[in-house]
Structure formats: C-alpha cells, structure tokens
Amino acid sequence: MVKQVQIGKTDLYVNPIGLGTNAVGGHNIYPNLSEETGKEVVRTALKSGINFLDTAYIYGPERSEELIGEVLKEQGNREKVVIATKGAHKFVDGKIVIDNSPAFLKESVDNSLKRLQTDYIDLFYIHFPDEKTPKDEAVGALKELKDAGKIKAIGVSNFSIEQLKEANKDGYVDVLQSEYNLFKRAVEDQLLPYTADTGISFIPYFPLAAGLLGGKYTKNTTFNDGRAKNPLFQGEAFERNLQKVEQIREIANEKGAETAHVVLAWYLTRDSIDVLIPGAKRPDQVSNNLKTLDVHLTNEEIEKISRIFK
C-alpha cells in the first residue's frame, strides 16, 4: 500500500502519483480521442491506487469533467477520490476569454459540480489570471465557497510571483500549479522558495517536457505537431537536450528503471512538491507512471541530475 502524502497544508491526502486528465475527453487538445478509452484510463487509475485526478473546464471543453463524473458515479466511491478541477475560461462571441471575477468563479464551481456529479470539489484552481480582477478578491470568492463546503482547497495556476503574493494576501492559497520541468526551471528562482516558505503545495505540469524527458526520442525523430515549433526540439538545441536525457538514462539503467521514472522521482525530492500529475492516453501508461514510486534517488544522484540541466 502506497503511503499517502498531505497536499501542503490542506486536509487532502493522496498517492504521490496522480493522474492528469487532459487526454480524457480533451477533444480540443488531442484529435481522435476515444471517450471509452479515456474512461478506462480513469478506472485503471482508481483501481491501481491513484486517488488524485486533475481536470479542468477547458479540457473538452467540459467533456473531461463529464467523463470523470460518469466513472465516479458508476464506481460509487466518491469519498475516496480527490478531484482537482480548474476554471477561468469562457466563450464570448466564439472567442475564449479569461475571467477571474468572483461571480464567474462561483458560477464555474457550480457548473463543474454538475458535470462531475458531485456536491463538493476537493481542489478548485483559478486556471489562468485575468488582467483586471484583484487576485485577493478572486481568491476571496473561493474562500466563501470553501466556507460553504462546495470546495475543500483553493488553488491558482499560471500565476506570476507578484500575482501569487497578491492572491495569497490573506493566506488562503493552498496550491500553485505551474509549468516546471528540468528544461524549464525559472520557478526555482522565486515561486518555489515562496511556496516552500508559505506551506503552499506546488504541482508541476508538463513535467516530461512534451515527452522529451521520457527518453523515447532520437535525433532522427520528426514532429508534425506543436513540438515542431518548440525551441527544445529544434536543431542543435534538440541534439544537446537529447545528450542530457541520455545521462539520465544511464542513472535509470543502473536502477532498472525508465528515464521518465527517474525524472519524475527527482521532482518529488523538491521542496513543496508533494504530488505529480503525469497524463495518460492509455490504461497501461497509468500503471507505468506508478513505477516512479519504486525509484529512490541518492543525494549524489539528485545533485547530478540538477547539474546536468543547470
């Protein structure tokens, strides 16, 4: 049985490996998704001991929350699952607009509750900051919902250090979710120290850098999706990055593990990172993600990995 960890200062306890569900019903993110496969991914996660699901209104839009709601209803074990979802997007005249106004956030939570077929959300995030709403006012609206029992913990996502400090003026923020991986370490300068000092849990997204840190690519791999324009995947930079990943593979080989497992295990050694949310498009990938918990890094290995990607 995996020892569960506390998410920051919340009352939420989870398996350190959760499940990111943008490929469950996220038709606007991935083409040709099978919804039945997506539901099977969620079922496999719950059966395997993963109890933390991360979704959002914009995955679909709406569909990821709906599919998770269907699975939770059929399984009948809502109280054993920790659900995180996010809101801030809305469509105005066919265009996406970001809105952090208290009224819209309250409406977003009510709509997510319906889609998830539940009467409370464990962790609700403001998905992106807007340009006009004072951040402490936005978080204040979520605090009212927390006091009313509709949500249990308050998160913000994609906030700068200034926005996070404003949002946390009253100490209400429980979790920050931001992009962080070995190639993209800017959050180490200010955000991670701040979250560590304030007891805010930090949850990284894109931890495997669009698959680059998974160790499955070679210099001959070609990309016809968004990665083709990503500087990490271009020319000499791509080859240099692959050489760095190769050094992780050496550590992984010594441990009988995969490169991705070593990378994910490294994140769990960072201050204020309690849980990870790698995604999965197939049930076997869910089981594979859990092998991260079998990897134990020495202090020397932790330092070596940090140096490789300095």
Residues 243-253 have pLDDT tens digits of 999 999 999 99
Is it the case that residue 269 has pLDDT exceeding 80? yes
- What's the mean pLDDT when you consider all of the chain? 97
Look at residue 2 and tell me whether its pLDDT is greater than 90. Answer: no
β-strand pairing of 89-92 with 82-87: unpaired
Residues 6+ apart with CB under 8 A from 257: 291, 294, 295
Residue 66 backbone dihedrals phi, psi, to 5 degrees: -65, -45
% of the chain surpassing 70 pLDDT: 100
Neighbouring residues of 189: CB distance < 8 A, sequence distance ≥ 6: none
What pLDDT shows up at residue 224?
86
Given a cut of 80, is residue 298 above it in pLDDT? Answer: yes
Q: Which CATH architecture has domain 5-211+270-297?
A: Alpha-Beta Barrel (3.20)
Output the pLDDT for position 226. Answer: 85
Confidence label for 3 from pLDDT (cuts 50, 70 and 90): confident
In order, the DSSP letters of 209-275 are TTTGGGT---TT----SGGGG-GGGSHHHHHHHHHHHHHHHHHHHHHT--HHHHHHHHHTTSTT---
C-alpha–C-alpha distance, residues 204 and 267, integer Å = 9
pLDDT band at 99 (very low <50, low <70, confident <90, very high): very high
> Residue 109 has which token pair?
């939570």
Task: Confirm whether 30 is a catalytic residue.
Answer: no
Largest CA distance in the chain: 55
Domain ranges of the chain: 5-211+270-297
> Residue 170: its pLDDT value, please?
98
Q: Residue 113: pLDDT above 80? A: yes
Q: Tell me, what amino acid is at 301?
A: E
Rg (CA), the chain: 19
CB under 8 Å to 21, separation ≥6 — which residues? 38, 41, 42, 53, 54, 55, 59, 64, 68, 279
Q: Which of 13, 30, 57, 59 is catalytic?
A: 59
| Position 195 pLDDT exceeds 90 | yes
Please state the rounded mean pLDDT for residues 56-76: 97
Q: Is residue 63 a contact partner of residue 103, using CB atoms and an 8 Å limit?
A: no
- Is residue 225 predicted with pLDDT exceeding 90? no
SS3 85: strand
Distance CA 259, CA 117 (A): 38
What phi and psi, each to the nearest 5 degrees, are found at residue 158?
65, 25
Q: Is the separation of the CB atoms in 47 and 69 below 8 Å?
A: no
Which residues are paired to 203 by β-bridges? 177
Instruction: Supply the pLDDT for residue 116.
Output: 98
For residues 250-278, average pLDDT: 97
- Find the range with the poorest average confidence among 28-42, 215-229, 276-290: 215-229
27 near 65, Cβ under 8 Å? no
pLDDT in tens, 136-194: 999 999 999 999 999 999 999 999 999 999 999 999 999 999 999 999 999 999 999 99
At 39, the pLDDT band (50, 70, 90 cuts) reads very high
> Given this model, what pLDDT does residue 142 score?
98
What amino acid is encoded at 65 in this protein?
E
What is the rounded CA–CA span in Å between residue 286 and residue 258? 14
* Mean local confidence (pLDDT), 247-265: 98
Q: Is residue 10 helix, strand or coil? A: coil
Q: Is the pLDDT of residue 1 over 80?
A: no
Q: Which two tokens stand for residue 142?
A: 């979520």
- Please check whether residue 192 is in contact with residue 202, taking contact to mean a CB–CB distance below 8 angstroms: yes
- Write the single-letter amino acid at 64: S
